[in-house]
Amino acid sequence: MSPDEKAIEEAERAGFDLSLVDSNLRLSFEQRALRHADALSLALELREAGLKHAQPAPPAEPAR
C-alpha cells in the first residue's frame, strides 16, 4: 500500500468525508475562492453578532 493510500485510509477511519474534498477539487479556483469568501463573511458576521450579544446592556436610566 502506498503512503497516499495509507493516508486516505487513515483519514476515512478518522471520519473525514473525502467526497467533500473531491467535490471541492472539481470546482475551479475562482469558484473555491468565492465559496471561501462567502464562508469567511458568514463567520465574521456570526462573530460580530456573538460579541454584541455577549456585551452587557448599558445601565438603565433611574426613574424620576
**Is 22 part of any domain?**
yes
**Is 52 part of any domain?**
no
Q: Please state whether the predicted TM-score (pTM) of the whole model is above 0.75.
A: no
In single-letter form, the type of residue at position 8 comes to I
Q: What share of the chain in percent tops pLDDT 70?
A: 100
CA atoms within 13 A on the CB side of 11: 12
DSSP state of 55: S
In single-letter form, the type of residue at position 15 comes to G
Number of domains observed in the structure of the chain: 1
**Is 59 part of any domain?**
no
Which range of residues forms the domain containing residue 8? 3-47
**Is 54 part of any domain?**
no
**Is 34 part of any domain?**
yes
Q: Where are the alpha helices (DSSP H) in 1-64?
A: 3-13, 18-25, 29-54
Dump pLDDT digits (tens) for 33-44: 999 999 999 999
Dump pLDDT digits (tens) for 4-62: 999 999 999 999 999 999 999 999 999 999 999 999 999 999 999 999 888 777 777 87
